[in-house]
Amino acid sequence: MEKYLSKTIKGEYGNEISKLKDFFSLKNGHILVASMDIYLLTEVIKISLSNQQRYKKSIEENNYFDENIEFSNSYLVYYLEKKKSTSELYFLLEKSKTQDDFHLILTTISCMALENLDKRIKSRLNHNIIFLPVLPYKSVKQYVNEKAHKIDPRFSALLKNNLMQKYKINFDFESLFNILNSIHISLLIMILNCNIKNHKMIEQYRKFVFKHPELRNIKDKDISDALGDLLDLGFLDKKYNYVFSVDELKNYISKNRPFYLKRLLKN
């Protein structure tokens, strides 16, 4: 299956892979690769790095401020979801600008990652972004029809476990909610508390967050985009009903989110 998907990905994302390979021909630099599909993101980067790995070394996750790290003739795949601090990311961006033959590949599975970055970092990435849309269903149709392949449920469970180990995926609610920003979370809180009307969604949102200045000046487009994200990611069904555990969401917000979202939750 993976062999087939690798071949399919090369065909579907040839332009993006070529752009990544061209990136490595530069003296140095940085680029952001984003996709909602962790497998697709991993595979595209692996394909793009296939030739580079012969003569460039990979810098592993580390204390990047360590003076003993040799950045020349190397590359680093840096996951924004694991970012320790803004200063660390800024340091690596500076390295990719000043250090010869060092290439920094930033990756994310969050559609709003760029918006959540510091302005001085965001400005450096605006023209160096590759977005990988979801792999078309037709390309993998023969592999998702379990009935046709008569896949044993035990095999499906084993495959899921192997994928979790291979890509370090953790299927818990906290990991799931961590990909959402404050607009996403506030929309979910509103949906839990209001009778939602699609044609009045933005109007309802503004009324719901009016007492919270942190959310009051959000653009209409950002609200619409965030709502689309929640639908695409499966947090909401087509009728805008929340489909996961309400208690898990409330616990997550109480433990991990800023005070203004906690107050919004209590409204």
Cβ-contact 173, 256 below 8 angstroms: no
For Cα atoms 151, 245, 152, give the angle at the middle one, nearest 5 degrees. Answer: 10
pLDDT of residue 177 exceeding 80: yes
For residues 56-76, give the mean pLDDT: 79
* Number of C-beta neighbours around residue 96 at 10 A: 23
Which two structure tokens, joined as six digits, stand for 110?
């969050």
pLDDT at 172: 60
Band (150; pLDDT cuts 50, 70, 90):
very low
Among candidates 199, 196, 185, 204, which has minimal Cα distance to 248? 185
pLDDT at 104: 93
pTM for this model (two decimals): 0.53
pLDDT of residue 36 exceeding 60: yes
pLDDT of residue 60 exceeding 80: no
Cβ-contact 173, 248 below 8 angstroms: yes
Taking the C-alpha atoms of residue 165 and residue 58, their distance in angstroms, rounded to an integer, is 21
Band (207; pLDDT cuts 50, 70, 90):
very high
Which two structure tokens, joined as six digits, stand for 22?
């061209």
- Asked whether the CA dihedral 119, 123, 125, 129 is positive or negative, the reply is positive
pLDDT by residue (tens digit) across 3-34? Answer: 556 778 888 889 999 999 899 888 899 999 98
Q: Please provide the average confidence, as pLDDT, over all residues in the chain.
A: 79
Band (157; pLDDT cuts 50, 70, 90):
low
For residues 231-238, give the mean pLDDT: 80
For residues 217-242, give the mean pLDDT: 85
Fold classification of 2-131 is Rossmann fold (3.40.50)
* DSSP 3-state of 178: coil
pLDDT at 3: 59
Q: In the chain, where are the structural domains located?
A: 2-131, 144-169, 175-266
